[in-house]
Chain A
Amino acid sequence: MADLTNTETIRPGWFSTLANPTTFMRLSGKVLPWLAVATLVLFAVGLTGAFLAPPDYQQGETVRIMFIHVPSAWLAMMSYTIIAISSAGYLIWRHPLADVSAKAAAPIGATFTLVALITGSLWGKPMWGAYWVWDARLTSVLILFFLYLGLIALRQAIDEPGRAGRAAAILALIGAVNIPIIKYSVNWWNTLHQPASVIRADGPTIHSSLLWPLLVMAIAFTLLFVVLHFKAMRAEILRRRCDALIARHVRGDAARAGTEEAANA
């Protein structure tokens, strides 16, 4: 029989220590200002590089849209990966911080997906002559956007936070399994209907004067995601603490009312 009163023997690993909401609040609070400053600096450098870069010989000035578009598209996929990993963590270990992470990442990921779609269609108008073409990539990103909307809508439809988190986690994992299938089928569909060369020539391999601002922007966007994600997670943890305090307060009132009634009777 294990000695359950001896808590010294139960030693959490470094990950569980980090995943403790209180530790997370303390560490993320310290790191956030530095990350925010780094994000701003990288954006300043990346945007300067993006505007100073020479216009592309084929795409002209519209190539600058790429500096926003490509990092947004990367983050659209990265956010879903983070949601899927957090959801698996929540379903397996029931760790509340994993649910907080999944919940906080969904609207951010949806926003980056929308930015990628909008900048893509703005780029498409001069390049392809239409704001929207049913290119394989556009179509699969559009479906990804609908998956994000579904996740957010399902969570909003359930009042009880624990249940909402688990339902959203199940849906996120169904989506994660299906995303590669959707991507593959959309590629198949597009090549079946029209050869890819008509729609888009990938153009020459990217020139270094365009490549370095793109990489800087990619890092800046990733840091922006981390900052927004941490901020949203902190807000969510605080919201849950408020809810817990309110619940305790209400229960306390009810208990007090109960004892008063008992005393009066």
Chain B
Amino acid sequence: MNAFLALLTRDLTLALRQGSAIGTALGFYLIAVSIIPLGLGPDLALLSRIAPGILWISFLLSAVLSVDALFQEDRDDGSLDALAIGPLPSELIAASKSLAHWLTTCVPLIVVTPLAGLLLNMELNAVPKLLATLAVGTLGISFVAGAGAALTLGLRRGALLLPLLILPLFAPFLIFGVGALSGAAGAFSQSILLLGALSLFSVAAMPFAAALALRLSLE
């Protein structure tokens, strides 16, 4: 457990002191949200209706684009090899890395989401619900993305391959995340529970796949 926390603290410290990764993901998220009204037209009623979908999709894309570097830097400077021969099992290395991705990328994105919702004329009373779906759902997103990042680690065109591999797996998250805000009776409580189940399942299962992939890429 100490080794797990030490690795997590190290990754968080690195992310905070470098800062560039968080900033890039935030910038990408805001530009993706802002560019969509340019394509759809400035109709506020339409934007307000589709705002949850736009925010969720932009969120997913930002998360996928930022996860590419999850293991890459550690692999390049050799610290991933050092971790692999250390006391921490690779399953926990993968879990710690995925959790660090959630804390350093998804949480900042959730924090700026109300601002992005404002740009899309989102109804104010829907904002807390949207934040709740994002908080519950994106934890699983980070863990699925972590497994994808481990699979494409060190590959040619890996950054391009990664979205192809994991975006199909995000379909359930997107469906339940946006479905929670559909306004249908009982939709919110039902879909946020399903979203939570999905996230917990990913947290439990994906580190094993990621660990297999990590051991493979370190051979």
Taking beta carbons and an 8 Å cutoff, which residues of A are in contact with B? 91, 143, 146-147, 149-150, 153-154, 157-158, 163, 166-167, 170-171, 173-175, 177-178, 181-182, 184-186, 188-189, 192-193
Contact = CB atoms under 8 A, between A and B. Distances in A.
A218 to B, nearest CB: 27
Given A154-B152, A166-B216, A171-B165, 9 more contacts: A154-B161, A157-B161, A158-B155, A163-B216, A170-B216, A177-B205, A178-B172, A189-B175, A192-B182
Interface string B180-219: 0010100100000010001001000110010011001101
Contact of A182 (B168, B184, B212, B213): B168
B37 interface: no
B165 A178 contact: no
A163 B155 CA distance: 11
The listed residue with most A CB atoms (<10 A of its CB), out of B152, B172, B209, B213, is: B172
Contact of B184 (A158, A178, A185, A192): A192
B151 interface: yes
Contacts of B157: 157
Given A157-B156, A163-B219, A177-B205, A150 B168 contact: yes
Contacts of A166: 212, 216
A191 to B, nearest CB: 10
Contacts of A154: 151-152, 161, 165
Contacts of A143: 168, 171
A149 to B, nearest CB: 7
Interface of B: 147, 151-152, 155-158, 161, 164-165, 167-169, 171-172, 175-176, 179, 182, 184, 187, 194, 198, 201, 205-206, 209, 212-213, 216-217, 219
A192 B165 contact: no
Consensus secondary structure, chain B interface: helix
Given A157-B158, A167-B151, A192 B179 contact: yes
B212 A91 contact: yes
A110 B219 CA distance: 30
24 contacts: A149-B164, A150-B164, A153-B161, A153-B165, A157-B155, A157-B156, A157-B157, A166-B212, A166-B216, A167-B151, A167-B213, A170-B151, A170-B213, A175-B169, A177-B205, A178-B169, A181-B172, A181-B201, A185-B176, A188-B176, A188-B194, A189-B175, A189-B179, A193-B182
Nearest to A149: B164
B164 A153 contact: yes
Contacts of A193: 182
B71 to A, nearest CB: 14
Contacts of A170: 151, 209, 212-213, 216
B164 A174 contact: no
Contacts of B165: 150, 153-154, 171
Contact of A188 (B169, B175, B206, B217): B175
Contacts of A158: 155
Contacts of B217: 163
The listed residue with most B CB atoms (<10 A of its CB), out of A143, A147, A166, A181, is: A181
A174 B147 contact: yes
B167 to A, nearest CB: 8
Nearest to A178: B169
A174 B171 contact: no
Contact of B209 (A157, A173, A184, A185): A173
